[in-house]
Amino acid sequence: MPDIPICPFLVKLFLQVPHLTVIPPTFFEHMPVLQVLDISNTNIVSLPTSISSLSLLQEFILRDCSALIELPTQIGMLLNLKLFDIQGTQLMFLPKEMGKLKNLEILRVSLSEYAKDYVKSSVNETVIPRKMISELKKLKELCVIISVGPEPEWWEEEVKYIQSELCDLENLETLRWYLPTTEVLQQFLLLERNRVPMYANLSNLMLTIGQHAQLTSCLPHGLEEKFEEFKNCLKWINAEGSMDAISKIMASAEALFLSRHWTIRKLSTFNVTKLKYCLLAECNEMETVVEVDGLSEDVETRIKNGEKVGFELLQYLSIHYMNKLQSIWKGPIGKDSLSKLRILSLHTCPKLTSIFTLTIAQNLSCLAELTVEDCPKVTSLISNESHNIKLGLVLPTLEKIFLLDLPVLVNIFVGRIMLENLRTMLIYSCPRFRDLSNMELPRIKKIEGEDEWWKALDCDKSPWKNIFVQLKKRRALIEQLSEATNSLQHFHDILSHGERKKGRTKHKVAAVQKLYDACRDVFANCGPGVVPDAQGIERLKDILNGMTEHDVGVRPNMPFFKVKETEGFPKITYLHLSECDKFSIGIFLLPPTGVLPLHNHPQMTVFSKLLFGTMHIKAYDWVDNIASSSAPKSDSSECEETAEEKTVSVRLAKLKVNSDFTAPCNTSILYPTDGGNMHCFTAITSCAVLDVLGPPYCDAEGRHCQYYRTHPFTSFSAGDNKQLPGDDEKAKELDYAWLEEIDKPAGLSVVGAPYNGPRIVEK
């Protein structure tokens, strides 16, 4: 990095380089018109004083700079700054000079759990200077995230003094705030702006209430963070007491995340008319999710009069680890209650015996997806009732059912039932669910399950034999089940699809969907060793060349790219998008210095698109007219086992690629016998590689991933070198190498993670 670059016309600068630790003191002195600066996802420990030279800077982004703990006082010189985003840092305090940023409209900041201790040992008096917030009159959005430990008393004291300043922010529309105790919550509820409660003045209020202790979460990776992105999200955690404490805020809440509430037994239907999204976890005293308020007779009267009972707008309900939960709804149900619910996801509820009554099931006119996992007492999804029910009136929009680890599940409903829109059913570890004969499934396209379960079915399987898909094995199975039960991602997909279908938005077909559709067409008539035609290759190449990381929802600041001090290779993450017997689509996420060792792609055509980062690629093809060798020629082998000379079996290969590649760059293509079929990836920076394999690896069909160790050309005899093209013997040493088959390297770790990008609709 230059000490003092001369950039008189530079308007935007992006320095998202993970290995960046130091910015030279004079670096920004000659960037007079810079307006946007992004130094996210770096390891800088401080900002240079020359930051004060950026007098026209309007947007300053410092996300996920975990080593940065202080801001320089010169930050107050950025008088034109409108957006300042410091989320994901571990700041110890905010300098009082930030109060000079009179044009600031958006401030997002993260504070360290050790901030108070740090301030006590420094010249600063407080973590957030008094009256600093009230000076930022133009603020429209204020997000303060506290990385608190098990004892957040310091923030309780801090917030008591500063939250009254919120009333001076006349333009404030969005607030993300943390209230650790009932006392500061009550203080917040009393705040007023223009004689109206502060919370009622905001269009987007994201509150976290309760002791935010750092306990191990039972929730799937990323679910909590993604849920918090919902507008007007209320997060109530590690708390006690009734819903009355938050009833005023609940009136405007659109999303509720209730976790580890130690005493609550139910959710009241009072004042929850706007609730759309609900996530419940580890509330071990909760016996029912919803119990209608009031005497039964009064509720019946309200229902007859057409009054709302509650939960008319609820679209997403996900429940995890509820030890005493026995039912979803208790009491009379209103005509529109739960009528907009799109996804219901239940995980680890040991006392739950059934999911719905028939009455409730008939209300679920919009339910698209149902997941039930690890509920050991559930025998039927819909409990039996004495009155009859007509076919086709239950769950008319249900498209997907995922049933996992339900040891006593016998059926979905004891009587005959039609699920007229069901497309996908996944059954895993449900040994007693053996009869599908009472189900009418006119639109079913896929039934996934274990081969043992399918063979043990007690009914005629012939109507579905062509759509049964056996579940994968071992690690691939874990990834498959994780993806199948990723209910929140599925919910976003349903919303996006609904928006397109109703014409409210004009979204184009997602790039990843275009890729899948093209792969399905291009590889349809291909097989092992069969290369797609030139037109098909160009079609896939054009789609991949136009794709970026945004098309698949990955970014360089994801936690997968943080390198931990371990022996061997850094851990590599694989995101599975789609796979069939013709092709597979996936993404490899390599942290800096991550290595995918030299390996082959037997009988495959492979497309690799570098989405971001810089990577070194080294690739070889076999030289077929030279016999294999098994006798070492010299001691110059690069073999790791150098302690003593060994006889190894090797085969000659020609070097095809040996270069650094930086995104954006064109898609690389390798073929069964050409193009560098054996390659090695070495990440120089954080890298994401989108891979399409046709066909995919399959041990049963002989397409095993084989790893290799390279030996210099001079290490073994190639017989008559004149058989090799070229006259320059030195060039041959550079262009050729001997490859030895080896087992998977001991230090190599490739782990799967759920894919959370735009979904692929498999057809």
213/152 Cα distance (integer angstroms): 8
Q: And the tokens for 403?
A: 């049933």
Residue whose C-alpha is closest to residue 355's, from 374, 379, 391: 379
Q: For a pLDDT cut of 70, what percent of the chain falls above it?
A: 84
Question: 157: which DSSP letter?
Answer: H
For 519-551, what is each residue's pLDDT tens digit?
Answer: 999 999 899 999 999 999 999 999 999 999 989
Count: domains in the chain: 1
Average of pLDDT values for 335-353? 92
Specify whether the CB–CB gap between 590 and 615 falls below 8 A: yes
Of residues 564 and 2, more confidence is placed in 2
Secondary structure of the chain: what % helix, strand, coil (to 5)?
Answer: 20, 25, 50
125: Cβ contacts below 8 Å, ≥ 6 apart: 119
Let me know if residue 97 belongs to a domain. no
Helix intervals (H) in 457-510? 474-484, 487-502
Q: And the tokens for 712?
A: 């210099």
Let me know if residue 717 belongs to a domain. yes
Lowest-confidence segment of 551-560, 569-578, 628-637 by average pLDDT: 628-637
Q: 459 pLDDT band (50/70/90 cuts)? A: confident
Element containing residue 681 per DSSP (H, E) = strand 678-683
Which position has the token pair 């301030």?
Answer: 119
Specify whether the CB–CB gap between 523 and 583 falls below 8 A: yes
For 565-613, what is each residue's pLDDT tens digit?
Answer: 656 678 999 999 998 989 999 999 999 999 999 999 999 999 999 999 9
Let me know if residue 481 belongs to a domain. no
Let me know if residue 261 belongs to a domain. no
φ, ψ (nearest 5 deg) of residue 439: -115, 130
Burial class (CB in 10 A: 0-12, 13-18, 19+), 27: buried
DSSP string for 41-97: T---S---GGGGG-TT--EEE-TT-TT-----GGGGG-TT--EEEEEEEEES---GG
Of residues 148 and 174, more confidence is placed in 174
Alpha carbon separation from 256 to 83, 130, 240, 414 (Å, rounded): 28, 32, 16, 34
Q: Can you give the residue range of the structural domain that contains 539?
A: 532-753
Q: And the tokens for 611?
A: 């989405």
Mean pLDDT of the chain: 85
Q: Is the pLDDT of residue 298 over 80?
A: no
Let me know if residue 356 belongs to a domain. no
Q: Is the pLDDT of residue 272 over 90?
A: no
Let me know if residue 309 belongs to a domain. no
138/171 Cα distance (integer angstroms): 6
Q: Is the pLDDT of residue 507 over 50?
A: no
pLDDT at 154 (0 to 100): 75
Q: 29 pLDDT band (50/70/90 cuts)? A: very high
629 bridge partner residues:
650
HEC secondary structure over 308-374: CCCCCCCCEEEEECCCCCCEEEECCCCCCCCCCCCEEEEECCCCCCEEECHHHHHHCCCCCEEEEEC
Average of pLDDT values for 206-212? 84
Chain length of the chain: 763
Q: Which amino acid, residue 580?
A: C
Sign of CA dihedral 224, 228, 233, 238: positive
Question: 18: which DSSP letter?
Answer: T
CATH number, position 571: 2.60.120.10
572/595 Cα distance (integer angstroms): 8
1 bridge partner residues:
none
Q: 633 pLDDT band (50/70/90 cuts)? A: very low
For 154-171, what is each residue's pLDDT tens digit?
Answer: 788 888 889 999 999 999
Let me know if residue 586 belongs to a domain. yes
pLDDT at 667 (0 to 100): 94
Q: Is the pLDDT of residue 105 over 80?
A: yes
For 356-394, what is each residue's pLDDT tens digit?
Answer: 888 888 889 999 999 999 999 999 998 866 445 444 458
Let me know if residue 467 belongs to a domain. no
φ, ψ (nearest 5 deg) of residue 41: 60, 35
Global pTM value: 0.65
Q: Is the pLDDT of residue 672 over 50?
A: yes
Instruction: Give the number of other Cβ atoms within 10 Å of residue 763's Cβ.
Output: 8
Q: Is the pLDDT of residue 56 over 90?
A: yes
Across the beta sheet with 584-590, what order do the strands follow?
668-670, 605-612, 687-694, 584-590, 572-579, 750-753
241/182 Cα distance (integer angstroms): 10
